[in-house]
Amino acid sequence: MSLPEVRSPAARVRWESQLLPAAGHQVYVRTFDPGSDTAPWLVWAHGGSWRAGSVDGWHQACADLARHAGTTVVSVDYRLAPGHRHPAALLDVLTALDWAERRSGRPAAVGGDSAGGTLAACAALVRRDAGRQAAAQVLAYPPVDPDCRAASYGRHPGAFPPRAALLAAWRDYRGAARRHPLSRRSERPPLYSTPDEAESFAGLPPTVLAVGGLDPVADDVRALARRLRAAGNTVDLGEFDDLPHGTFLTDPGLRRWLGTAYTRRAA
């Protein structure tokens, strides 16, 4: 699949910042408004291997996504590992999702790129378990397997991120956690650290997934799409042969594809 050609859009997106109250801290968010009172809302978690990234660093990309999708995008400055391990980042995304729904008066979608996509997929699962389904999930190349076992991790030598770096990022994010069914854990609803922990994918919202053929997490994303479809969910999977990891920040064509696919599902 090839990415769409993108010309620089003329319309400007308004933005504002908010501090949201949470348990013992505040969650900083930046809201990008495309100028429509009827626009759907999408909460976005940035990438950065759970250890880096910020609302500032993702400002232009989220503004572009709001413009291309015609949606209000809420970018979340979630707490970072290793200073704040799981479930801190997930709880911050859920706080932003709750706030977006109170502000808009309707269900919001949740999305993210790379590590943020992992968080968004986990937030969608938590919402499903609580009987409060998100409107959609929009996931750009999310890592899924903490053990990084798929063939795509070694398919393109030198590809970013290398397997060793991603394994270290998973450890910093999850601490001593190991793969196990969450039915053995005490959280209700469970606070997933990866969608791979969920015993069932049934009843999830419409999903938009994107990944590049040069991305080490490509097989993770394909497996996630298969599992979602097998559980009866609607999935749009965009596979872009020459795309590496991390291109949500750098490729407006990917942002346009994500925005268009999401708009189609949000309609």
* Residues annotated as catalytic (active site), given as ranges: 114, 215, 245
Is residue 136 a contact partner of residue 108, using CB atoms and an 8 Å limit?
Answer: no
Q: Which residues contact 178 (CB under 8 A, 6 or more apart)?
A: none
Residue whose entry in the numeric block shows the structure tokens 């980042």: 89
Closest CA to 78 of 103, 42, 54, 102: 54
| Burial of 229 from C-beta contacts in 10 A (0-12 / 13-18 / 19+) | middle
State the virtual CA torsion across 121, 123, 128, 133 in degrees, nearest 10.
-100
Classify residue 6 by burial, with Cβ atoms within 10 Å: 0-12, 13-18, 19+. Answer: middle
d(CA 158, CA 90): 30
Which single residue is written with the structure tokens 């039915």?
183
